[in-house]
């Protein structure tokens, strides 16, 4: 008999190990804490221990249980350590349901730990897929494996829901709720940070925000994108670049090697969510390999250039606000020039017609999680989103 069957009051454990997981679980955690039908707990997996502590604190949250810092190593070794640590934390929390977010090592390790303990698993941001089962690796691999283990699938978009159905997931287990990152974005847009919270900007009329961190761009990919940025600046004296440098040494050292000497490039430490969103809103263009920025930028009216082979967020491409460009210096520079001179796209409204939702996903997810424990159908739940993609 699993832990789930031994305790009557739901104890829902949300597991985060990276900054994006914190940001995308924040609205779920807050909604659950306002719900009388369950006890919610936040678990810090230890993948990026200090970063998770800091990010949660910025949003008025704190982990109830924290695993030790996970030592770096191979992907398989990291997964093994995280799986064991999360399993211990779930036991300590007397959790009755585990919640994983996204496609990180923590998310997959949470799914495996929940299976070890016989716990039901909910997956936030379920159903994202590229057109290749191993690209990007390991994220796409993790997504597909988590789907086989999850009991509840919270799909952010219509295309994500279709992907899950095509893979044989029972429709009754899929809930299209919108993207939780938009919950936080909506709150931030209505409460922007002060200029004093922003870093110094490059002295140029047009600001390009650059973010790089995906494993698929390690090594040569980083070299190519940096070369494209330098080519663009050589051609366009009216452009400056601001790049928050990812803390991973495999990324940061290479970016600094290529870009630190240019007078119109500002390299900063990773930025908190609110100041970063303010900068993204001011930017003429964003060049990125991030998934989250693909969702956030359309609500700000900021065009984006995605430096990747493929994307699991086709909605941004369909909107016309994003361009997917192969990691080739000439192609990236040419696409950037075009977007810098093109009219700025209109910002999406925070409503049900927006492909990533209306900014109320956390509330919906919390209600479904509690209802799952209670074994009821939510007749009074918010109506399904009318998303098209």
Q: Which residues are catalytic?
A: 103, 125, 139, 213, 215, 246
340 touches 229 (CB < 8 A): no
385 touches 178 (CB < 8 A): yes
176 touches 155 (CB < 8 A): yes
Sort strands 11-16 and 97-101 into parallel, antiparallel or unpaired.
parallel
Write out the two tokens for 157.
């978009």
CA 51 to CA 33: how far, in whole Å?
Answer: 22
- The alpha-helical segments, DSSP class H, found in 236-342 are 249-259, 273-282, 292-300, 314-319, 329-341
Q: Which of 118, 75, 85, 120 is nearest to 99 (CA)?
A: 120
Phi-psi region of 276 (alpha: psi -120 to 50; beta: other; left: phi over 0): alpha
Write out the two tokens for 107.
């998310």
Write out the two tokens for 17.
């190990």
- The alpha-helical segments, DSSP class H, found in 59-98 are 75-93
CA 113 to CA 86: how far, in whole Å?
Answer: 6
Q: Decide: helix, strand or coil at residue 154.
A: strand
357 touches 177 (CB < 8 A): yes
Q: Which of 234, 325, 242 is nearest to 284 (CA)?
A: 242
């Amino acid at each position: 008999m699993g832990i789930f069957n031994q305790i009557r009051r739901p104890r829902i454990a949300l597991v985060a190990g990276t900054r994006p997981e914190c940001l995308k679980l924040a609205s779920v955690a807050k909604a659950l804490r306002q719900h009388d039908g369950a006890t919610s707990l936040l678990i810090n997996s230890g993948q990026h221990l200090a970063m998770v502590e800091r990010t949660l604190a910025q949003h008025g949250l704190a982990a109830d249980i924290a695993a030790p810092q996970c030592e770096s190593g191979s992907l398989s070794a990291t997964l093994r350590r995280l799986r064991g640590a999360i399993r211990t934390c779930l036991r300590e929390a007397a959790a009755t349901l585990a919640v994983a977010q996204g496609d990180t090592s923590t998310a997959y390790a949470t799914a495996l730990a929940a299976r070890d303990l016989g716990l039901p698993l909910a997956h936030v941001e379920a159903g994202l897929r590229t057109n290749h089962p191993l690209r990007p690796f390991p994220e796409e691999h993790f997504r597909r494996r988590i789907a086989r283990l999850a009991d509840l699938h919270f799909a952010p978009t219509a295309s994500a829901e279709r992907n899950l159905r095509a893979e044989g997931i029972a429709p009754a287990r899929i809930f299209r709720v919108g993207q939780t990152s938009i919950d936080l974005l909506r709150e931030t847009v209505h409460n922007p940070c002060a200029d004093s919270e922003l870093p110094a900007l490059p002295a140029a009329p047009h600001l390009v925000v650059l973010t790089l961190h995906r494993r698929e761009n390690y090594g040569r990919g980083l070299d190519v994108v940096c070369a494209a940025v330098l080519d663009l600046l050589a051609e366009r004296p009216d452009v400056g670049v601001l790049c928050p440098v990812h803390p991973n040494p495999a990324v940061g050292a290479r970016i600094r090697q290529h870009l630190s000497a240019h007078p119109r490039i500002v390299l900063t430490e990773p930025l908190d969510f609110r100041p970063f969103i303010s900068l993204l809103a001011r930017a003429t263009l964003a060049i990125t390999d991030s998934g989250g920025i693909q969702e956030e930028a359309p609500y700000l009216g900021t065009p984006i250039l995605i430096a990747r082979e493929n994307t699991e967020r086709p909605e941004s491409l369909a909107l016309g606000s994003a361009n997917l460009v192969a990691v080739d210096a000439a192609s990236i520079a040419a696409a950037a020039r075009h977007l810098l001179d093109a009219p700025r796209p209109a910002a999406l409204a925070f409503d049900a017609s927006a492909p990533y939702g209306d900014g109320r996903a956390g509330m919906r997810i919390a209600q479904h999680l509690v209802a799952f424990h209670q074994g009821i159908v939510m007749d009074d739940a918010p109506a399904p989103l009318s998303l098209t993609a």
